[in-house]
Structure 1
């Protein structure tokens, strides 16, 4: 089943959700700020996205700028920061089977559904 890691306060995430709703396909909404992914889940998402943890970070967030920017962090330390501060996770993330995409721009979601 298609999954979307969604934050309703984010315009891009709402746009991604709308694309899925209009597709008519079954999907699951994961409100990742409430149901924070485990370390294993997040590492699996990164693997599906085929990106490094730093590429999943919202670097303009105050939390990042005040606590992590400019530090030489390992991949594991970045994953830990994302789990402790899920607001830092780029969104929306859409997963369909063994494919995943960050829906920015939102139209990219169409490539995997």
Structure 2
């Protein structure tokens, strides 16, 4: 089993590029297609902790659904986490996890910085 986990959206070019970069560098992460298998609120909280970023930094704030839900920069962390759990399209992608760190692959090279 891989000690790397990759939250992937195969329809996203950046997600595909970052995965290819990992493969080119010899890494074979376990792939989670998070749109079909959304993370739980607990998994999202752990991801945020490993990213060491504000909750909103893990969100696609320009996504139409963000505004439709009435979310904004002043929304509470709990509101944002609940929204991501129910609407995984709001999760920024891709995200690579090690046992102790995580990185959002924007730019795609960010995934290599935690390895």
Q: TM-score, normalised by structure 2?
A: 0.91
Unmatched 5+ stretches in structure 1: none
Q: Which residue of 2 aligns with 1:54?
A: 56
- Aligned 8 A contact 2:9 2:33 in 1: yes
Question: SS at 1:55's partner residue?
Answer: helix
Structure 2 residue 66 is matched with structure 1 residue 87:
no
How many residue pairs match? The answer is 113
Quote the Cα distance in structure 2 between the aligned partners of 1:48 and 1:83: 17
Quote the Cα distance in structure 2 between the aligned partners of 1:70 and 1:56: 13
Task: Give, in angstroms, the shift of residue 108 of structure 1.
Answer: 1.2
Structure 2 residue 67 is matched with structure 1 residue 65:
yes
Deviating runs (4+, > 4 A) in structure 1? none
Task: Choose 62-71 or 75-84, whichever is displaced more.
Answer: 62-71
Task: Give, in angstroms, the shift of residue 71 of structure 1.
Answer: 7.3
Task: Give, in angstroms, the shift of residue 55 of structure 1.
Answer: 1.2
Quote the Cα distance in structure 1 between the aligned partners of 2:83 and 2:60: 12
Task: Give, in angstroms, the shift of residue 24 of structure 1.
Answer: 1.6
- Aligned 8 A contact 2:71 2:80 in 1: no
Quote the Cα distance in structure 1 between the aligned partners of 2:71 and 2:52: 23
Question: SS at 2:36's partner residue?
Answer: coil
Q: Deviations over 1:58-85 (max 9, x none)?
A: 0111101222244742101100000111
What RMSD in Å do the two structures reach over aligned CA positions?
1.3
Quote the Cα distance in structure 2 between the aligned partners of 1:56 and 1:14: 18
Q: Which residue of 2 aligns with 1:2?
A: 4
Q: 1:42 to 1:70 in 2, by over 3 A?
A: closer
Quote the Cα distance in structure 2 between the aligned partners of 1:63 and 1:77: 14
Q: TM-score, normalised by structure 1?
A: 0.93
